[in-house]
Structure 1
């Protein structure tokens, strides 16, 4: 489940029309959401607040052997109107589930970002500042986001910790998103790392797709899937070592009439690692995923299977059928007969499970109880009979 600050950060992306998923770094995001979920350890409580549209705070208290916690602050120059109360937040916006790919969107016209007063430009670029202090370790992490233009964003993250080399590290990433393709250039003070990433989407270019009249648009054959390919290259100036990886993805789009699914293949030729994933939305509330990893040099392989099952809230006796249907429909839903709303099932929670070939199993239940968001998880290893349970924990989140 996303933390409150991650939720606010995604609200910033949405408000500035930034497609967070159109990046090579998120090529396998669907499989990671279904297989790489974290199991809580011990008891952890998060109390957060969006006290103003521009300012958010969050406090965390945990107990894993010793009492620890953190204090977080976030400022956005752009006012964020996302629901902040934990009792009102849509669970699908804070729970990492099957990732439905959206239609590519053309970048905003640069003229739309201009504001003029008395012949002078007065517009400013939106920015986000975030800081988090971990206690009692006194580790500090910070994030700076700035939208430079409709197609460009700068992201600078830093960590200060006495256990790290040179006392900390800084990572700067310049991101470009043109809809049809995206590029990223990064530099890290850790080993003087330089890197470049790119993702190309085959098919129509949203920047040059003409707007057709409704009559002609209905006759046009809809695009039901998208094929994407990308790669990354990085090199450490200090340790004189580098790496490269490449990958492809095919995913269905909202106009696909069958079961939504996503397939990916990634390859790291220097390390000899090959990974393939397949995720399918097998039903309205069920998603399945598999991942197979193989190394050409050692001939080692690994297989993981995962599942997520969503549970919907049943209508109360006091609610009529019309009221219940209204709760499930919001403006913007595109169907074969037109635009009538946005599918928003009133979900109560989700059950996630995963298992690998070594019989290591993880189970996670996430949902809401009254005004609290919770994550309850357990992981165990069936081959270690003397100590089957590996981790058990509960996380509670409350925000206002």
Structure 2
């Protein structure tokens, strides 16, 4: 289950029209969400509130042998009217799962961001500030997020802890997203690390206007006819203090909403210096099931790892027929070629208050490794509360197979 502050940050991305999936860092986001999901330990409770469209607070308390907790504050210069409470938010927005990617969109024109009053520019760039203190460890983490332009964003995160080298670390990211391609330049105070990432999307370029003619070439360039997107990217980094570096490259193919078959995502990442490669495959088998597999292999040590996982969605009975009827009505009224641009806008704002009918009552996640380690997680909602119930099971430890068992409860107002 996404934490409230993570959910609010996603709302900020949606409100400021930033595509977080168009990044090399999130190339394997689907596989991570389906196979690397955390399971709660002990009892944890979260109480959060969006007291105003610009300000949010969150308090958490956990009990696992000792009692600890955290206090969080968040400020956004852009009103987050698309953020919903725990009783109204759709589970697909509150749960981290299969990433349904949309077609890349054309960035806004920089002139559209200008606001003039009396001959003077009065517009400001959207900014998000976040801070969290863990108690009783007194660990402090902070985030500064600022939209510099329609295609640029600055992200600075910091952690302060006396147990860390030099008492903490700072990571700065300058992100550029032009739709067709994206880049990230990073610097970390930890070993003075510098690096660069890049991702390129093959095929349709949203920055180029489609021809008005109806030739076969136009049909080939029409985003409505594109069933999938192939992306390739790479990263390089170097630590100045320890004089060591690294690099990796990756590829991803994912289907888009225009695809008539089963949605799927395939990724391959390679680290040539370490001799490691990773391949993953995720597919949606209908509306209520997702299956995923991931294979890791190292050509130097011959070590390998295989993880299998699934995600099963439970829906309200009788809603499948209603959903099909709604889809047919939408296709007849709003999905015509002339209105395709208007229909894309509701698709990219899943946090909208209007038309948000949540027919999902819960989701079951499961994974198993080749070492017979099993992870189980059930996430759902009870009235106004969101909950996560999970366990890690080691089948090789027959005397005590349950390694961890826990439940996490969230209430957001």
Q: Using structure 1 for the length normalisation, give the TM-score.
A: 0.93
Give the one of 287, 290, 293 matched to 2:293: 290
Is 1:135 matched with 2:135?
yes
Give the one of 236, 252, 262 matched to 2:239: 236
Alignment of 1:13-52 (within 5 A): 13-52=13-52
Partner of 2:274: 271
Task: Please state how far the C-alpha of 1:159 moved relative to its aligned partner.
Answer: 0.4
Q: Give yes or no for contact 1:139–1:159 (8 Å, CA) kept in 2.
A: yes
Q: Give yes or no for contact 2:29–2:99 (8 Å, CA) kept in 1.
A: yes
Task: Please state how far the C-alpha of 1:83 moved relative to its aligned partner.
Answer: 3.7
Q: Distance in 2 between matches of 1:129 and 1:365?
A: 32
Task: Please state how far the C-alpha of 1:375 moved relative to its aligned partner.
Answer: 0.3
Q: Distance in 2 between matches of 1:81 and 1:306?
A: 35
- CA-atom RMSD in angstroms: 2.5
Partner of 2:389: 376
Give the one of 253, 257, 273 matched to 2:256: 253
Task: Please state how far the C-alpha of 1:313 moved relative to its aligned partner.
Answer: 2.1
Q: Give yes or no for contact 2:184–2:197 (8 Å, CA) kept in 1.
A: yes
Task: Please state how far the C-alpha of 1:217 moved relative to its aligned partner.
Answer: 10
Alignment of 1:147-296 (within 5 A): 147-210=147-210, 212=212, 220-221=219-220, 222-296=225-299
Partner secondary structure for residue 11 of structure 1: helix
Partner of 1:63: 63
Partner of 2:4: 4
Partner of 2:113: 113
Q: Could you say which structure has the higher helix fraction?
A: 2
Is 1:363 matched with 2:362?
no
Is 1:87 matched with 2:87?
yes
Q: Give yes or no for contact 1:50–1:56 (8 Å, CA) kept in 2.
A: yes
Task: Please state how far the C-alpha of 1:101 moved relative to its aligned partner.
Answer: 1.2
- Cα deviation 1:275-327 (Å, max 9, x = unaligned): 000000011110000001000000011101000000112359xxxx8799669
Task: Please state how far the C-alpha of 1:82 moved relative to its aligned partner.
Answer: 1.8
Task: Please state how far the C-alpha of 1:223 moved relative to its aligned partner.
Answer: 0.8
- Is the alpha carbon distance of 1:27 and 1:118 closer, same or farther for their aligned partners in structure 2, counting shifts above 3 Å? same
Partner secondary structure for residue 385 of structure 1: coil
Q: Give yes or no for contact 1:330–1:344 (8 Å, CA) kept in 2.
A: no
Q: Distance in 1 between matches of 2:335 and 2:309?
A: 30
Q: Distance in 2 between matches of 1:125 and 1:245?
A: 33
Partner secondary structure for residue 386 of structure 1: coil
Structure 2 unaligned blocks of 5 or more: 348-355
Q: Using structure 2 for the length normalisation, give the TM-score.
A: 0.90
Partner secondary structure for residue 203 of structure 2: coil
Q: Distance in 1 between matches of 2:252 and 2:132?
A: 35
Is 1:307 matched with 2:306?
no
- Is the alpha carbon distance of 1:304 and 1:48 closer, same or farther for their aligned partners in structure 2, counting shifts above 3 Å? same
Count how many residue pairs are aligned between Structure 1 and Structure 2. 395
Structure 1 unaligned blocks of 5 or more: none
Task: Please state how far the C-alpha of 1:119 moved relative to its aligned partner.
Answer: 1.1
